[in-house]
Chains A and B, each alone.
Chain A
Amino acid sequence: VGSNLDNRDVQLTPATLSLVSVMLSDPGAEWHGFELSRAAGLKSGTTYPILARLEGARWLRSRWEKGEPSTLGRPRRRLYRLTGEGEVALRRRLDEMETKLRRARRGELAWRPQGVGARV
């Protein structure tokens, strides 16, 4: 994957969050795409673009399954795992989100609408 995404460029959409949550449940494990999409409850077509983005951002690494198709009895699959860098970045982003949500729930966030939606 030739993208040069920075970690900050990874958008944690609900679909991406579902997928990375599955991977974070066992950070050392390797998964193939269909397995991940099933575990995350996503459509296959949605899963692969997310995998491509995360791989481009170096949050994931992928490799071909070892073994010849004749031995495996089927074509080799591509396996994905979280990188150390990805795990750290992901945990940091999740912590940030959690902190923001906690503060928002307590009404501690300083931002107030200044325009049309402002209280009068």
Chain B
Amino acid sequence: MTATIGVSALALLASVLLLRVVASVLADEAKGWLVQLGRALLGSAARRLPESQRDRWSEEWMAEHEAKRDRPITALVFAASIRWHAGQMATALGPKHGEATARAISNGRVVDEDLTQVRHAWQALEPRILVQILELLDYRERRILELHFGLGGEDPRTLDEIGRTFAVSGDRIAQIERQAMMKVASLAEAQKLRDVA
């Protein structure tokens, strides 16, 4: 009888020990997974940012995440919050000209914010480079920009006046002009990148 109780007690003790070992292994495993998940969320948030800003913010966020390694839940909440607000972050950083252009083109629409950026990029161009870039536009786009902004030494004309020349509405001219300006901005960005390289 006593021997049976002793064996049962030993079996119970062994089971408890085994369970504790398994739980500990699982907890470590879960911690590892949570850390990986956090990193993946931060990586995904960084990919939403303009390319030129990704490394800096990714390193900053990863460092904060790493500092919470011993608190995996806190680290995961941090990463999830960063990912959740990644769009706000991308807006705060402001689109670079080329990226604004690419985004606007890929969306098939131009928002005013993009257009303002594009206009600034275009106005900042050196006249020599502007001439080279205008050469790359198609005839109609180039002519519209030349006429509207008086680039060829001609007097600037209104969109409606240009519209009459091309037998389309002023709104249509504004639309083509937007596309042309975006093209100029993206080419300017490419030119700038080439210059840096």
Give A contacts to B, CB under 8 Å.
1-3, 32-34, 43-46, 48-50, 52-53, 56, 74-78
Contact = CB atoms under 8 A, between A and B. Distances in A.
Contacts of B66: 74-75
B67 A34 contact: yes
A1 B89 CA distance: 12
Contacts, number: 71
Nearest to A46: B85
B191 interface: no
Interface string B88-112: 1101111010000000000000000
A33 B60 contact: yes
Contacts of B61: 48
Contacts of A45: 81-86, 88-89
A53 B56 CA distance: 15
**B-side interface mostly:** helix
A46 B88 CA distance: 8
7 contacts: A3-B92, A34-B68, A45-B82, A48-B61, A48-B82, A48-B92, A75-B59
Interface residues of B, number: 27
A32 B64 contact: yes
B53 to A, nearest CB: 7
Given A32-B64, A74-B63, A77-B63, A2 B81 contact: no
Contacts of A78: 56, 59-60, 63
B85 A49 contact: yes
B94 A3 contact: yes
A1 B53 contact: yes
A56 B94 CA distance: 9
Sorted from nearest, which 6 A-B pairs have the closest CB atoms? A45-B85, A45-B81, A49-B92, A75-B63, A52-B92, A78-B60
A2 B85 contact: no
A48 B85 contact: yes
Contact of A43 (B62, B81, B91): B81
A77 B78 CA distance: 15
Contact of B85 (A33, A34, A43, A76): A43
A33 B78 CA distance: 11
A46 B87 CA distance: 11
